[in-house]
Amino acid sequence: MSPAPRQVANHGVHWPGFRSASSVEAQVRRVQGRGGTVARDEVLIRSVQVRFIYPDGSELRCPLADAPDLPFESFLPCRKISHHKSQRNAPAWYWSSTINQMIEYESFLERVWMTLLDFDPDVSAFSAQPMQLIGADTQGTWKATPDLFVRRSDGSATVMEVKNPRHLADPEVQLTAARVAACCRAAGWGYELVGEPPDRQRTTNILMLMSGYRREMTGAAQYRDLILAAAADPTPIGTLAEAVEEPLVGRAVVLHLCSLGDLVLDLSAPLEDSTLVRSA
């Protein structure tokens, strides 16, 4: 039996408001498609091929049945992202500390989700658009290129589609989501259709920690044990910073340890010197 769809979690706390594979298909059955009401049998897979590109640039296809054992987290993007003047999205590159390499993203919202995945200790690797699904059903032939493939430390995998929240309920988005969800269910992967992360303060804190403090810091190692020992019990960030002879350096090291998960804290409130942290 395929594993149940999983939600992207942050330090064991599930983000609310995601659409799982089952909830997507339930909603799709209520959406009007091109040929009338989209019924369950219209999103079932007749035959699906998976196109992917190895790191050496060689391109291959395989049946969906052969895809579960492939390391999609290591494959190259299947689709080129366009860059041109006046485009509404903002494509660029994101450096992932989890895999220590650059990943191209298509929108700022994708970058936000990449950052959240980077912060998640249960994520061992992820990649952008590493597969193209090619299939046919009663609506006709179709292709889909999911945004993210996420590998977790327990070996399980999740496919993520990141969409502008205003378009989540669009019939075409829902139909594609149901098709991809059916493929994921057959392959034993989780599936999530996501928009904007629901907890903005938490997201803001994670973006700040990851963008400013996740990279390795020169000289941080000499203060790590001192700070972790001082944080055996919940301690304000400012107090830990003062435990180091140079408080500005101490504060940076504290936030670096927070970004690594070595120090844990309440991310639902703004980060201040009075914010309590403790050793993980």
- pLDDT given at position 84: 65
CB < 8 Å & 24+ apart, contacts of 150-153:
150/8, 150/73, 150/117, 150/123, 150/125, 150/126, 151/71, 151/72, 151/73, 151/123, 151/124, 151/125, 151/126, 152/6, 152/122, 152/123, 152/124, 153/121, 153/122, 153/123, 153/124
Q: Which tens digits make up the pLDDT trace of 10-55? A: 333 333 334 444 444 444 344 334 443 334 434 456 689 999 999 9
Q: Convert 25-43 to b/e letters by CB count within 10 Å (16 or more is b).
A: bebbeebebeeeebeeebb
Residue 69 has pLDDT above 50, yes or no: yes
Cα gap 183→173, rounded to integer Å: 15
Distance in angstroms between the alpha carbons of the first and the last residue of the chain: 35
CA atoms of 81 and 105, how far apart (whole Å): 8
- Among residues 82, 181, 78, 75, the alpha carbon closest in space to that of 135 is found at 181
Checking if the pLDDT of 144 tops 80, the result is yes
**pLDDT value of position 3:** 39
Please return the burial class of 65, using the count of CB atoms within 10 Å of its CB with bins 0-12, 13-18 and 19+: exposed
Residue 119 has phi, psi (to 5 degrees) of -80, -20
Mean pLDDT, range 103-108, rounded to an integer = 93
For a pLDDT cut of 90, what percent of the chain falls above it? 70
pLDDT tens profile 259-280: 999 999 999 999 999 999 999 9
User: What would the pLDDT profile of 171-217 be if each residue is shown by its tens digit?
Assistant: 999 999 999 999 999 999 999 999 999 899 999 999 999 988 988 87
